[in-house]
Structure 1
Amino acid sequence: MRRIIAALVVSVDGLIEGPNGDLDWIETWEDPFDLLPQIDTCILGRRMYPGYEQYWRAILADPAGVLPLTGRVATKGEIEYAQFAEQTPHIVLSRTLDRVDWKNTRIVRDVEEIRKMKQQPGKDMHAVGGATLVSSLMNAGMVDEIRLVVTPIVLGEGKALFKAVKERHALKFIEAKPLKSGMVRLTYVT
């Protein structure tokens, strides 16, 4: 059976966005989770999808251009991820979104459709985010692994990653890996 790996960047205080939805504290959007070799599908929520598509398509259109979300030029790792994302199937979980424009992307209406996908052959799936998507998948008992890259910043206010999780989930610690950037990757299984 395929696994779903929720992998997100968080602040030390467990937030994934600042108080106004700001993400300027995240230095790069390349893959600090070391996931690309083991996944063949990305899962996103309705709120995250438009910005995700815009960011990666902007890199593909002009790898040396200034990016809309960060105001900087893409890193080598971000260019590699953009190329990966262009070729990889994406699922957007939404009851309200009418259409998606990026090739290899489709909308599913219910987490049970994702559960059926887990039963199909293939590599693991990456729950990219956001918080509502990850909480929905956790509440349905579908997250098999959690990888958090903790950025050395305290935001104080903002959006908590696990705010909408309805019950306690005991996690088994697998690994803590310091990254060259000063961040730490934590890996747990559910």
Structure 2
Amino acid sequence: MRKVVAGMQMSIDGKIDGPDGYADWVESWSDTFDLLPEIDACVLGSGMYSGYEQYWSAIKADPHSPLELSGNLPTPEEIEYADFALNTPHYVLSNTLDGVRWANTTVLRDAADVDALRQRSGKTIYVVGGAQTVSGLLDRGVIDELRLTIHPLVVGEGKALFATIAQRHRLQLNEAKSRPDGTVSLVYAVGD
């Protein structure tokens, strides 16, 4: 069975978005866990799909222009991730979308479809978000590992990562790394 890993960036008070609907404290949306060589499929929710597709397509189309969301130039890691995103199969978890326009992308209807995907041969499946998707898959027992990048910021008002979680989950800390920018990367195995 393939491993399913969810990776999220959040504030120290558990927020993935601030009051304006985005995480303006995140400097780069590239993979912060060095997972790309291990991944051959990505899953995301329908609420995240549109912005994700637009963001990475814009970087791929013009890696030397400022990003609309931040006004910053893409980092080298974001340019690398844009290549990865456009060449890796993506699965959008949605019971409302009829189709998607991004090449190499398929709509899945529910967590059982993600579980079926993990039964196929292949590498790690990366759940890139959003919060409701991560929480739903965690509650269904589909996520094996949770990787969090914690930013040294208390946001206060905003969208919490685990706001929709339905049950308690035990986690085992497998790795913790602090970085010079003050972020901390935590890797947890998901228990029963």
Q: TM-score if structure 1 supplies the norm length?
A: 0.97
Residue 38 of structure 1 corresponds to 38
CA contact (8 A) 2:16 2:22 kept: no
Offset at residue 133 of structure 1 (A): 0.2
Kept in 1: contact 2:95–2:110 (CA 8 A):
yes
Q: Deviations over 1:37-72 (max 9, x none)?
A: 111111000110100000000001100011122211
Q: Quick one: distance in 1 between partners of 2:173 and 2:138?
A: 17
Could you tell me which residue of structure 1 aligns to residue 22 of structure 2? 22
1:161 partnered with 2:164: no
Q: Which residue of 1 aligns with 2:105?
A: 105
Number of the residue aligned with 1:49: 49
Q: 1:171 aligns to what?
A: 171
Cα deviations by residue, 1:82-132 (Å, 9 ceiling, x for unpaired)? 011110000000011122111111111111111111111000101100011
Larger CA deviation: 180-189 vs 144-153? 180-189
Task: Name the CA distance, whole Å, in 2 between partners of 1:92 and 1:73.
Answer: 27
Matched residue SS, 1:55: helix
Q: Which runs of 5+ in 1 are unaligned?
A: none
Task: Tell me how far apart the structure 2 counterparts of residues 75 and 119 of structure 1 sit (CA, whole Å).
Answer: 35
Secondary structure at 1:48 match in 2: helix
CA distance in 1, matches of 2:163, 2:156: 15
Q: Residue in 2 aligned with 1:9?
A: 9
TM-score normalised according to structure 2 size: 0.96
- 2:132: which partner in 1? 132
Match for 1:135: what amino acid? S
In structure 1, how many angstroms separate the alpha carbons of the residues matched to 2:64 and 2:181? 22
CA RMSD of aligned residues (A): 0.9
Distance 2:140 2:160 in 1: 19
The equivalent of 2:73 in structure 1 is: 73
CA distance in 2, matches of 1:21, 1:37: 31
The CA distance in 1 between the partners of 2:78 and 2:163, in whole Å, is 29
Q: Which residue of 2 aligns with 1:119?
A: 119
Structure 2: 5+ residue stretches without partners? none
Give the 3-state SS of the residue equivalent to 1:47 in structure 2: helix
Task: Give aligned-pair identity as a percent.
Answer: 52
Look up the match of 1:183: 183
- SS of equivalent to 2:185: strand
CA distance in 2, matches of 1:84, 1:34: 12
- How far the C-alpha of 1:157 sits from its partner, in A, is 1.1
AA in 1 matched with 2:162: F
Aligned mates of 2:26, 2:169 — CA distance in 1:
27
Query: 3-state SS of the aligned residue for 1:28?
Result: coil
Q: Aligned partners of 2:116, 2:96: CA distance in 1, in Å? A: 21
